[in-house]
Amino acid sequence: METGKRGIQTIEQRQRQVIIRLTNENRKLRERVVILEAENKFLKEKLEKAMLYIEELQRVVFRKKHKQKGKDDDPLNQGQKGGGGNRSAESYRRAVPKPEDITDTEIHHADNCPDCQNELRRIKIVEFFQEDILSPDEWFKILKKVIRKQISIGFCPNCKKKVSQVPIPKQRVTLGENIRELIVFQSTIQQLSYSQIKEFANVCLRINISDGEIANILKNQANRLKPAFEDLKKNIRNQKGAHFDETGWKTSRGGLGDFVWAMCGIENKDVLYLFGKSRGKGNIAEMAGEQYEGIGISDNYGAYKNAFLKGKHALCWAHPHRKLRDLKDSDGLSEEKKENAKNTYREFAELYRKVRETNQQEFNRENRLEKSTELEREFDQITELHLNDPIKLKQIKNGLKVQKHCYFICITEPNIPPDNNKAERALRHLIIKRKKSFGSKTHKGAEVFSVLYSVVMSLWHRSKETFFSSYQSALSPAN
């Protein structure tokens, strides 16, 4: 009997040992599951980030086009590109020239049929116009002008020096003022490279010109435009607010950085450029001045964060709007997270529409403050974090919440746009120029472009018809 009891106890002990072992294994497996789930979550987040980065790189490197607009897109933006709406057949035809613009008349009269030679009846005249230019082979005959200058030089016994009515050039053959202005126009407005400028001068004008001559002409013209450049800078600084933005501009030797900055006043189309700079905050102070009291409008790049006085920094609504639009179409998100991103985009797009509508209304401070409070409540609801928010969406929402007050300056202050499109448009011209010229070779060349582009583009935006006369007026006397 005792042996049986000992046997029973042994079985119970073995069962207890098995239970303890299985319990320990189960506990370890649960702990392992927790670790693996955390690792899986981490890897999913990393993969999500990587997929989003790849999509961003595809847009930058391969210029990936946005998908066709659907029901989730902002209806206020649809149809804006390309003019939008239905166009009449007349809008595709060239305008009839004014009588004072007609230079020649051709008469094509016929009394007889060209096929059977019978006399024509009920003859009437129809009038058409043809716009053309002189044959390019003839351009140099009309455009090129060679002036022989005979200058008398004499010795003044009173002044004890040789004198002449006009200054004596250092070289026997020089280039005149008109072609210098043309080279500036081609380099800036037309965005031509040195080789393209030389080809035009050689083929169309029969004038040979070197890279060194072009560089010296641009430098000389920039020196003569410096007073106009300083006046332009003061004009923009004295406006109530200004747009700021920056983009890449390679400066090979002696540069302070590989960026160009733009500052545009909100009251007119003038623009100030600084080439060959870093991406640091100091460039904002260099453009706007150390004691700038105006409202700065920008994207949410970190250098702008403390660059303006408290309550004087307005952030662009278009930037987060574009980020949310790109995120909702991302292929790197699960369907659940993509749906959440779409909902956030729809809500933000609707809020952005209300902000634009309010911004266009007549300014009344009391009404605007009341409207701002209402819109801020919607803003808070949209930026509230949710469980299914993708990491990128959480980052966007957190960024919006941190700088919420900056997004409503356009509501609480008069004449402040809700976007930074003006500065972005000012840089697009330079992006095309950058593709042709690949930046500046030296820091001095970048400084020359700062003056030339600022003055030239401002005059061009003011009036294309009077550009050349305005440019001549902006030049200070030659040395």
Q: How far is CA 387 from the centre of its chain?
A: 36
- Is 198 domain-assigned? no
- Is 266 domain-assigned? yes
User: What domain range is 310 assigned to?
Assistant: 236-424
Provide the pLDDT for residue 6: 54
> Cβ of 454: how many Cβ atoms within 10 Å?
26
Which residues on adjacent β-strands are paired with residue 162? Answer: 155
- Is 40 domain-assigned? no
Mean per-residue pLDDT over the chain, rounded? 87
pLDDT higher than threshold 80 for residue 85: no
- Is 269 domain-assigned? yes
- Is 281 domain-assigned? yes
- Is 93 domain-assigned? no
Q: What is the pLDDT of residues 338-357, one digit of tens each?
A: 888 899 999 999 999 999 99
Q: Which residue has the higher pLDDT, 462 or 75?
A: 462
| Confidence grade of residue 67 (pLDDT, cut at 50, 70, 90) | low
Tokens at 162, concatenated: 């040789």
Of all residues in the chain, the percent with pLDDT exceeding 70 is: 92
Q: What is the pLDDT of residues 392-436, one digit of tens each?
A: 899 999 999 999 999 999 999 999 999 999 999 999 999 999 888
With vertex at residue 35, the alpha carbon angle to CA 29 and CA 41, rounded to the nearest 5 degrees, is: 130
| Confidence grade of residue 65 (pLDDT, cut at 50, 70, 90) | low
Q: Which residue has the tokens 């009077």?
A: 466
Backbone phi, then psi, for 314, in 5-degree steps?
-105, 130
Spell 285-302 as b/e; 16+ CB within 10 A means b.
Answer: eebbeeebebbbbbbbee
**CA distance linking residue 247 with residue 275, whole number of Å:** 10
Asked if 192 and 200 count as a contact pair (C-beta separation under 8 A), the reply is yes
Total structural domains within the chain: 1
- Is 390 domain-assigned? yes
pLDDT mean over 377-381: 94
Asked if 66 and 329 count as a contact pair (C-beta separation under 8 A), the reply is yes
Q: What is the pLDDT of residues 149-197, one digit of tens each?
A: 888 999 888 988 898 888 888 888 889 999 999 999 999 999 999 999 9
pLDDT mean over 31-59: 78
pLDDT mean over 286-315: 91
How do beta strands 295-298 and 161-164 pair?
A: unpaired
Q: Report the phi/psi class of residue 99: left, alpha or beta, with left for phi > 0 and alpha for psi in -120 to 50.
A: alpha
pLDDT higher than threshold 70 for residue 230: yes
What lies within 8 Å, CB to CB, of 227 at 6+ separation is 476
pLDDT higher than threshold 70 for residue 64: no
3-state secondary structure the chain: CHHHHHHHHHHHHHHHHHHHHHHHHHHHHHHHHHHHHHHHHHHHHHHHHHHHHHHHHHHHHCCCCCCCCCCCCCCCCCCCHHHCCCCCHHHHCCCCCCHHHCCCCCCCCCCECCCCCCECCCCCCCCCCCCCCCCHHHHHHHHCCCCCCCCCEEEECCCCEEEECCCCCCCCCCCCHHHHHHHHHHHHCCCCCHHHHHHHHHHHCCCCCCHHHHHHHHHHHHHHCHHHHHHHHHHHHCCCEEEEEEEECCEEECCCCCEEEEEEECCCCCEEEEEEECCCCHHHHHHHCCCCCCEEEECCCHHHCCCCCCCCEEECCHHHHHHHHHHHCCCCCCHHHHHHHHHHHHHHHHHHHHHHHHHHCCCCHHHHHHHHHHHHHHHHHHCCCCCCCCHHHHHHHHHHHHCHHHHHHHHHCCCCCCCCHHHHHHHHHHHHHHHHHCCEEEHHHHHHHHHHHHHHHHHHHHCCCCHHHHHHHHCCCCC
Provide the pLDDT for residue 344: 93
**CA distance linking residue 461 with residue 471, whole number of Å:** 12
- Is 384 domain-assigned? yes
| Confidence grade of residue 79 (pLDDT, cut at 50, 70, 90) | very low
pLDDT higher than threshold 90 for residue 388: no
Provide the pLDDT for residue 88: 74
Overall pTM surpassing 0.85 (yes/no): no
**CA distance linking residue 1 with residue 199, whole number of Å:** 118
pLDDT higher than threshold 80 for residue 315: yes
| Confidence grade of residue 8 (pLDDT, cut at 50, 70, 90) | low
Radius of gyration, CA atoms only, the chain: 35
Provide the pLDDT for residue 81: 47
